Structures are given as C-alpha cells and as structure tokens.
Structure 1
Amino acid sequence: MENTILAVAFFTMYAIVDIETTGSYASGNGITEIAIMLHDGQQVTGQFQSLVNPHQHIPRYITALTGITNEMVEAAPSFADIAEQVYQLLDGRVFVAHSVNFDYPFVKGQLSKCGYELQVKKLCTVRLSRKLAPGFPSYSLGNLCHSLGIPLEDRHRAAGDAAATARLFSYLLQRDEEKFILKSLQRNSKETILPPHVPKEQFDQLPYTPGVYYFHDDKGKVIYVGKARNIRYRVNSHFSNNSQSRQKQNFLRHTHQISYQPCATELMAQILESTEIKKRWPIYNYSQKRQEQLYGIFAYEDRNGYQRLIIEKNKARLEAVHTFHYLTEGHTLLRRLIQEYRLCPKLCFIQTSNDRCVGLEDGYCDGACEHEEDAYTYNERVRAAMRSVQERPSFVIVEEGRQPQEQSCILVWKGEFVAMGYIASDIQISDIDQLRDMLTPYKENLFIRNLVHSYADKYPQRVRKF
C-alpha cells in the first residue's frame, strides 16, 4: 500500500508558481511578473516566466521590494496575452506556492477575466514546511531556504522565488514519509485553505456551537473578533470562499492563532462580540469601531406654549427623551407615539410641508397646529407619550445553557443591560440582586441595548420581568 501511495505521489503533476503584484489583494491589484515551474514529483520538468503589464501604476514601495518598475513592464505582454499558455500549464496540475492563498486568487482571478476558469487543487509550502520541517524560527521563503541551505537567487522576483520554492518542494517530498502531502490533497483536508501559520489542530478544536472567535497575530494580539451561530462553520467560511478581498488576504497573512469562547445562544455571542470589540479595538474590525452616530427624541416648548418633539443627533448638554441607533428607528417610534397619543405630525416635525395637517385629515390631530386645541390639553398628551418611552423596565432573558444542567441569563436593570452568564437550571429566579451577583457584569453600549430590547420584544415568552 505504501509503495502505491509513493507511486501516486511521483505521478502527480505539480505547477509551482510565484508572482509579483502591484499590491496585497487580488480584487484591486494586478500581476507584474509570473513564473511557473512544472514538477513531476521528483524534479522540475519545465518552466515558464514573463513580466506582465498590469495596466496600473506600480507603487514605489513595491518597486523597492521587487525591483520591477513601471518602465520595465511598459512593453511587457498583458496577462490576456499569456492567459491561454498559463492556463494550459496549470490545468490538471496541483497549484503549489509559498503562501498559496496569496498567489492563487491573483492567477485565478486574472484567468477568469480572460475566460478561463481554473479549478485545481492547491498546496502551500509554508504549511507543508511547518509540518515536515518543524522547529524553525521563521517560515518566510528567504529565512527557510537559508536555514535549510537551499539556494535562493534573485529574491522577490518571480523566477528566483519559484525556483527556490521548487527546490524546497523537492526537499519536502523526500521527507514526507507519512504521505502528509497526499493527505493534504484529500477533499476533506483543511490544509490548503487555512492561514499558513495556523496549526490545523486549532481549527479541529473549534466547536459547532454559538460563540465568539478570535484571530491572533504572531505576538498573540487579537486582530479580529467575530461572532457565530456555529463557530467551526463561520471560521471555515472566512478561508474556504473564493474571495479576492483585502480582508481575506489580511486574515491569511497575519493570523497565527485562533481561539474562541463558546456561548449558549447567538444573542449572547452578539453581546460578547460587541463588548470585546470595544475593549480590544482589533485592527481588522471596522463596523463597531466607528463612533456611534446616536440620535434622540428631544422636547422643547415653542413660543405659543406647545410642547414639540423633534429627532436630532444627541447633544452633550441636552437630555433626550429616548435615544436610538438608527434614524429610521426614531421615525418609526415617533410615528407610533403620534398615533397612540393623538399628537400633531406638524408639531413633531414628521410633516414639514405647508400643506394641511395630515393628522387633521385622518382625525388623530385635534388642531394644536392651528391653535384649535389649547396648549395645556395638548401638552398633557405629549408628557404621557414621553413617560411611555422613558419607563425603563427591569427583566431577564432566560434561555438554554451550554449544557443541560444550566440556563443562560441576560440581565437588564432599569432599561440598561448590566450582566449575563450562566446559573444552575434548578435555581428559581426571583431576587434580582442575588441574580446580579451570580452573573458576569458587562459594560453596555447603544448597540447592545437596542439588540437586547429588540430581542425581548420579539421573544416575550423568554422574558421574566421584575
């Protein structure tokens, strides 16, 4: 059986590829040089190399790294000119590269633009080296070749790097006594999609449960926090798709470790994700790091003595009747108050035209806008509307725990999210102070507040009020 596997290894055809580019991600950059070394499992059997005109400017820092200038590629062929030849060299072979998930999206994307759909298996010599030649301080191509005594000439040029990668690959094939390379090519292997520096064992330990996951850099610092209904599936989706985005390349290049915190429910995962982003400020999280654009409903009395309600951005020196995250949410709430408390849409700035008040037309405005209703009577209804949204209930959302003998709790005290955690399933929740002592305190933000209250409104059967 071993001889059969060895024979298969030698008769598998490989294409060892290296490219130089104008930038770090395929969706916004082009190829400036490509080299392909054909390998039969024992030795290099053919090669191809060419400069490529990317039809976009090569940044100065790229030129400093590679030595490739805009003048050098001006007369070079476009990728479309060599696409057919590149496709024929790659089709039916295993695509091999040092950090393959950088090179492959560029080549696949450029071929796709020219009408060629590349669908081949991949191998990453960084991941293979970590497995078959463990213990080195660095697995960059230059440092690894130096450590192994592999010649590397013309560094950061496609032909030189491809030739060195081919020598490295031959070395790894010779050391592969347990046929790890062939196992990496199997359909269910994750070796070809994971970041080159992340041990597969870390991925295998990820649970199929809700929770929060963390990507760490080489120093252990958290660079991204994500939440998931299923942690294993969500982490896998970051790397198994065909995205050519900057984010995916950042994850592939900088993620060295993956950790996680399981949660009982997706809601708890969303809350934990938000607090962790605010706490850790990871470099590759964007959405919740932006300053919250908060809005509020404010009340003031006009010159005629009528209380008026208006939606504005939150103001430092004024207290809002009610705050919310999205402008549409505020308009929805104000329209509901107008209908329920018979308020005037003109005095609430929902209707801003000079046309006749739609509230008068529809019968819910009693004429305050035309002074047909006195200010005192109208203002009483405005104050009642304000009280209805200022009431701050205390409640706990109770759901299943992480295991059968526990239950999860999310505690809201006087309208503010204050704590969450897990308690034994046989504990009767009756005393809010006792419950608060049993849970982990968290700092609230507006995103979490709206999230929790919206969830409580949607699933009232899971809410216990105090």
Structure 2
Amino acid sequence: MYAILDIETTGGKYNEEGITEIAIYRFDGHEVVDQFSSLVNPERPIQPFVVNLTGINSDMLRNAPKFYEVAKRIIEITNDCILVAHNAKFDNRILTTEFDRLGYPFEKDTLCTVELSKKLIPDLPSYSLGKLVRSLGIPLSDRHRAQGDAKATVTLFKMLLNKDNNKEIISTSIKKDPKRQLEPKLIDMIAAAPTDTGVYYMHKADGSIIYIGKSKNIKKRLTQHFTNDNKKSKQIQLEVTAVTYEKTGNDLIAQLKESEEIKHNKPRYNRALRKTLFQYQLAVHKNEEGYLELKIEKSDARKKPVTTFTNYQQAKSALFLITEKYQLCQKLTGLHKTDGACFQYTIKECLGACIQKESAEAYNERVREFLDKNSYSNQHMLIIDKGRDIDERSVILIENGNYKGYGYYNLNYQINNPEILRSIINPMQNNRDAQHIIQSYLRRNKVLKIVNLPQEAPM
C-alpha cells in the first residue's frame, strides 16, 4: 500500500518551515482507495516567493485547521503505507518535523518518483514534476497546489509501476512491509485478488518472484493454483508469502507481459514458458512455374515467417481458411497431395493454378493480397484495445514488423503526437515469441481498432 502525497510549505529556514497545504492519496498499486486534502494554518508567516508560486496567502489560511487538528487523519490514511512523493526526501522531512513538534514518532519508508523516473525513463531533459508530466502526456491542473501535484504524481507512479519490468518497486515494497513477511493464509490471497485480466506475481518472503502467470480472471486462476494438489502447486503453496498483480485491460497485453517477464526474471516455477511458444510457421516460396506457394514448415529461426502457429493442427486449420478466403489452390498450399488438378478445381472453387490453367501472375496477385494484409514483416500499426479502466485505452506499437511495446492513454487525450506516443510506450523486446503472440491473437480475436501507420513510423 502506498500513500502518494504532496505538501506545500511556508518556505524559510531549514526545519523551520510550516505546512500550508497537504494532499494524500492512498493507493493500492492499482487504484486510489482513500484520499485527503486540506489547507493548513502554519502559524507562521509565508515567504513572499511562495505566495507568488502557489497563490496561497495568510488570509486563505486564517480559518484553516492547524496541523495538530489534521494529524490524526494523516496517520490514518498513511497507516501501513510507503510514502511516495516527487522529491520524497523533502515531503517526508516536513511531515516528520511536524510530528516531532507534537512529540509523535512518524517513521515511514519512502519511494521518490524523481529517482524512479530517472531510472525507468532515462535521458529526459527535466525531471521537475511540471515538465516531466507534460513530456509524458499526464494532465496536471493546479500546479504548485498540493491536490493537483499529488494527483499527477499518482498517475506518474502508476506509469512507473508499469514500466518497472524488473519489478524492483514491488519487490522493495514487499521487503519494507513486515506484514508480508508473515506466512499468509492462501484464502486471504485469493480474497484480495481482483477478477480482472492481468499478470500476477507470486513472491517469497524476501520479495523475489517464484512464479509469473496471466489470466482473464486473476482470482479464479489463483484459486486453481492454491487448490491444485500436483507437486509444483504444493511447492508453490509452501513458499508463497505474497501475491501482487498488474491489471492489463486485455488478454493480449497480459500474454506479452507474461512472456517477456518470465524470460527476464526467470522464476523458479516457470520453466515451461521459458521455451519458444510456437513450433510451426507459414512460409512463401516461388516454384519452378513461377507460382507463389504457401507452405507449413517446422519453425526455423533462420527464416522469416509470414506467420507462426503453436502446433501443426492449428497451422493446417488456418491455411484451409486462408486458401478458401483468397480462392487459392490446395495443391499449391500443400493441403492436397496430387500430380494433377486439386480437389477444389473439380468443384470449381480453384481457378486452375494446379494445372497451370490460371496464369502465375493472376494467382500470385491474390497470394500477395494475403501477404500484404497478414505478413508481419512490413506492418506499421497501432493496435488499440480496452484499457484498465472504462476511460482508458491500450495501445501496442508495431513498426517495420517489429513489436516496440505497449502503453495506455486516456480517452480524452490524443496520441497522434509522436513525442507523446514515444513517452507512453513501454519498450519491450521484439522476439519471435512476442510476434507469435500478436499474430495468433489477431487471428482469433477482435480488437477495438487497428490504426495503420505510414511507412515513416512515429518511433
């Protein structure tokens, strides 16, 4: 649990500042579950430059509660939380100082979004909150006011959690949370899990990840894990002390995240999914008569496939549909072994390429139509689908047939600006498994929208 906050102060000498405004959002890693904001009477003068910066003056604070009057609420909303702030050292020092004046020990672990941003989003020109969120396309209203800055920090932290492929933030959080060290009851983990689509992570007591999985219903999948009596499940049940998760909004991003993070983190109990996901691929060759032939082959890393398949039966079923849709010849697609005309020609569903009655030029035109629409190697597109919330959409970027990554954007925000698009995309590895996942998903499922990009892609 995190308490994401922002504090405005009077300015002045070190450790003599007073709080003029505070805003805190209690955040469970996925959504805000509680919030508090208030002006605070600092009982001391405000520096003129601070008045100009924040717009908060002494007249506004004359009837505001003093710190001791809001202290109980602050303790409640930050209970069992890690403090998160933009320049967390400053905000934590100010809070600690105010509580020291009341004789109350206020001790919290902290995470700083400045430091996290520099690590996870390197080489930006500025990491001040205003310039940083602007470069990332995060809305910010009421700059230099506690509620506006804290709300923007919530969105920023959510993005940083999403970009943290090594899961260092979550692992660090678990280490800092002593309650996670206790051996939990599996029923409590299931009860705390969402029914949403996403990726889940099983942790040992030291925060390290022992298993990564994905599901359209995380709660249901955890129930299966914790009620299964096979050897691996029993071992996981003994070792797991915490389960964290990330909502993805849709199954495609869940599959992509699961594949990449298993390869990256190499969890102990994910041995099977470290292997290649597909065994067959569709290739195209030109025969001696000049006809383009689509053929199913064993997967071969040395060859660039048109598309890939998990098993032979899946490949064969897909090729039958392709042959029918584009009125191709079953002999030339390897579905009908014959020395003469294919079966489809006898029922007038093949135009005769099998016996060279149809010209290679005419036949190849339909093959190329299929390749242009389905070959991954020359795709430039955005795959738009559901996001994690009702007002959010997900976007996957494909450039020159290469999977670049994914991100999320608010429905009210335009993503046609190249710089904004660059900032919201979480870079991911373009490997054959990722391409297979995307191709397979698009064959079987509908997405909200596919936006074809010009050859000069925005990335």
Q: TM-score, normalised by structure 2?
A: 0.50
Which one has a bigger Cα radius of gyration?
1
